[in-house]
Chain A
């Protein structure tokens, strides 16, 4: 028997539907913790967690830090820049050093796909992937799932379309796995220059026109368009992108049903999303942020606990 989630959370591709549901269900009571006068429970008291960020990220790091602190863990933030030292060397050496310091968990953000799995294979501590290259960003997808479930009361049977730069998006990959495992229909919409090869083979519907996606979907998850993509020649200009693929109020008004609007942030208003949509009545963007803390608390809690052999022994004695 293994623990609830195994040792690490690397991505949703490796999780079963039951494991994903367990995380979402566990996140529910943690929402309430953040509403308490004292927003803190002692569940991870004495645990040491290192937030190892090789890539700048404000909101993900803060969200994890809140989650850790609200669970009473001791946290250390390490911001390692990939520029000074060669990235690969830093990662191996950092792993060994962390191991030597007997920490309990590492939350890692790294520009290279596979970095979280790489670290998880080499240290005994639990590893949580906070985004590795273009691979996965599992906690973001989990908070997206929780937000969709809150809003619609279900996930199965819903049509969720990811709009924009799927090619470079770890959020998109994690969402595709999570949504399809929980029975949603997944669509992707954007220019072919921003779609990875063979994406249809992952079982998603492909839309080349935003109007068609809007007609089809119940939920739009609008991805952030990294502005440097334009310099790299994936799109001719931000202006044209907004004109062709922007999620605007005018476009949404033509939808056959009201669409739930999501965005993993940070938003480029007027690039991928219209401000009136982002701030509109169907936007759940701030709920996503709130749910982020609860989902991350659930993940940390589940990874830290769950040693079944001890659980059995305890049950025999207590209660």
Chain B
């Protein structure tokens, strides 16, 4: 995936990786580290919490946890790659695009996800995909990362 990201961005010159809270942040971090190993270049990376940009505030729940948003410098003229774990309805990405727009005007924004489970409700497609899975309506895809969950795993969870 790191290679694909590099190809997409034509190198590291203007590349900025932005992970979506929470697991997207860890994935962005890993991609950045891989690029660093291969190319010897430190890629600027950031984190984005889209809670405040959701279109469903009332469903946020009784104890909404808002994560950190950290944008590395001015995004003007940059190629921003949004990184997230699972792409489903596309609403999170929609919110992330809105939020990024409030931070500046990148030259280009791409989307990189580990798992595309289908089921889009908005016209949003990823540029880089780790894997595609076919998932039923009642099922859920859980991505676990070592940094947060103690192990790396993609689970297909059925039922509620």
**A touching B, CB within 8 angstroms:** yes
Q: Which of A39-47, A150-158, A159-167 contacts B (4 or more CB under 8 A)?
A: A39-47
Q: A29-B67, A305-B60 are in contact. Are A43 and B160 (CB under 8 A)?
A: no
Whether B69 lies near A4 (C-beta < 8 A) is no
Q: Which of A1-35 contact B (CB under 8 A)?
A: 1-4, 22, 25-26, 28-30, 32-33
Distance in angstroms from A68 CB to nearest chain B CB is 14
Q: Which of B52, B56, B64 has the most CB of A within 10 A?
A: B52
Q: A33-B52, A42-B52, A319-B140 are in contact. Are A306 and B64 (CB under 8 A)?
A: yes
Q: How far is the CA of A212 from the CA of B148 in the complex (A)?
A: 48
Q: Which of A218-226, A234-242, A310-318 contacts B (4 or more CB under 8 A)?
A: A310-318
A-B CB contacts (within 8 Å), total count: 85
Distance in angstroms from B49 CB to nearest chain A CB is 7
Q: How far is the CA of A87 from the CA of B89 in the complex (A)?
A: 52
Whether A4 lies near B62 (C-beta < 8 A) is yes
Whether B62 lies near A26 (C-beta < 8 A) is no
Whether B103 lies near A38 (C-beta < 8 A) is yes
For B89, the chain A residues whose CB sits under 8 A away are: 318
Whether B64 lies near A305 (C-beta < 8 A) is yes
Whether A42 lies near B53 (C-beta < 8 A) is yes
A304 at the interface (CB under 8 A from B): yes
Whether A41 lies near B59 (C-beta < 8 A) is no
Task: Please pick, from B49, B57, B88, the residue contacting A319 in the complex, using a CB distance under 8 A.
Answer: B88
Whether B62 lies near A43 (C-beta < 8 A) is no
Q: A41-B53, A316-B160 are in contact. Are A306 and B88 (CB under 8 A)?
A: no
B156 at the interface (CB under 8 A from A): no
Q: How far is the CA of A37 from the CA of B54 in the complex (A)?
A: 20
For A26, the chain B residues whose CB sits under 8 A away are: 64, 66
Whether A29 lies near B49 (C-beta < 8 A) is yes
Whether B102 lies near A304 (C-beta < 8 A) is no
DSSP majority for the B interface?
loop
Whether A40 lies near B58 (C-beta < 8 A) is no
Q: A306-B62, A318-B88, A319-B88 are in contact. Are A38 and B69 (CB under 8 A)?
A: no
Whether B57 lies near A314 (C-beta < 8 A) is no
Q: How far is the CA of A306 from the CA of B104 in the complex (A)?
A: 30
Which residue from chain B places its CB closest to the CB of A5 in the assembled complex? B62
Task: Please pick, from A310, A312, A318, the residue contacting B91 in the complex, using a CB distance under 8 A.
Answer: A318
Distance in angstroms from A243 CB to nearest chain B CB is 48
Q: A37-B104, A318-B91 are in contact. Are A1 and B98 (CB under 8 A)?
A: no
A59 at the interface (CB under 8 A from B): no
A276 at the interface (CB under 8 A from B): no
Whether A308 lies near B53 (C-beta < 8 A) is no
Q: A37-B103, A42-B98 are in contact. Are A306 and B91 (CB under 8 A)?
A: no
Distance in angstroms from A40 CB to nearest chain B CB is 7
Distance in angstroms from A22 CB to nearest chain B CB is 6
B86 at the interface (CB under 8 A from A): yes
For B67, the chain A residues whose CB sits under 8 A away are: 29
Q: 9 closest pairs, A vs B, by CB?
A: A311-B61, A41-B52, A314-B59, A310-B59, A29-B66, A43-B52, A38-B102, A305-B60, A307-B58
Taking A2-B62, A36-B103, A41-B52 as given, write out 13 further A-B residue pairs in contact, using a Cβ cutoff of 8 Å, ordered by the A residue number. A37-B102, A41-B53, A42-B53, A44-B57, A301-B52, A305-B60, A311-B60, A313-B59, A314-B56, A318-B91, A319-B86, A319-B88, A319-B92
